[in-house]
Amino acid sequence: MGKRDDKIAQYITVAKELKLNLSDELINKVTVGLGPSIYKKDSETVSCTQSSELDTVKKNFLQKKLGLELSEEEMNTAIKKVCEAMGKSNRNKYRALFYALLAQEFNKESIYT
């Protein structure tokens, strides 16, 4: 198995441990879509307490990637829901899982097919 396969296996395991109810296929596709960012510790995870990080999630993922036109409040609510689903004390909120949950939240999994 290659590095990417190892990461995908890790994310699938974590998703099951956290009971996130994500399909292995979606995790795989989101991970592939993130490219080399999954190999850098800082960009591999999402910080729910860093406003600049959450702005990046809103602009680059929700608006650009998923093509959503939502109010700031709607985006914040969805992000907060995902942060809570992944666990407030969990320091490793992997971006692949975070994005997969957001895609699922807005029924946009099809963007990865």
Q: What number is the average pLDDT over the span 41-55?
A: 93
**What average pLDDT does the chain have?**
95
pLDDT digits (tens, 9 = 90+) for 85-107: 999 889 889 999 999 999 999 99
CA gap 26, 30 in Å, rounded: 6
pTM: 0.95
Q: What number is the average pLDDT over the span 51-80?
A: 96
What pLDDT is stored for residue 88 in this prediction?
85
At residue 113 the predicted structure's pLDDT band, cuts being 50, 70 and 90, is: confident
Structure tokens at 64: 């650009």
DSSP calls for 14-51? HHHHTT----HHHHHHHHHHHGGGGGSHHHHB--TT-H
Looking up tokens 């290659």 gives 2
CA gap 101, 90 in Å, rounded: 16
At residue 1 the predicted structure's pLDDT band, cuts being 50, 70 and 90, is: confident
What the chain holds in terms of domains, given with CATH numbers, is 3-112 (1.10.238.120)
CA gap 52, 14 in Å, rounded: 25
Structure tokens at 62: 């929700």
Structure tokens at 38: 């999954």
Question: Considering all CA atoms of the chain, what is the largest pairwise distance in Å, rounded to the nearest integer?
Answer: 42
pLDDT digits (tens, 9 = 90+) for 5-26: 999 999 999 999 999 999 999 9
The answer to whether 62 touches 70, Cβ cutoff 8 Å, is yes
What pLDDT is stored for residue 23 in this prediction?
96
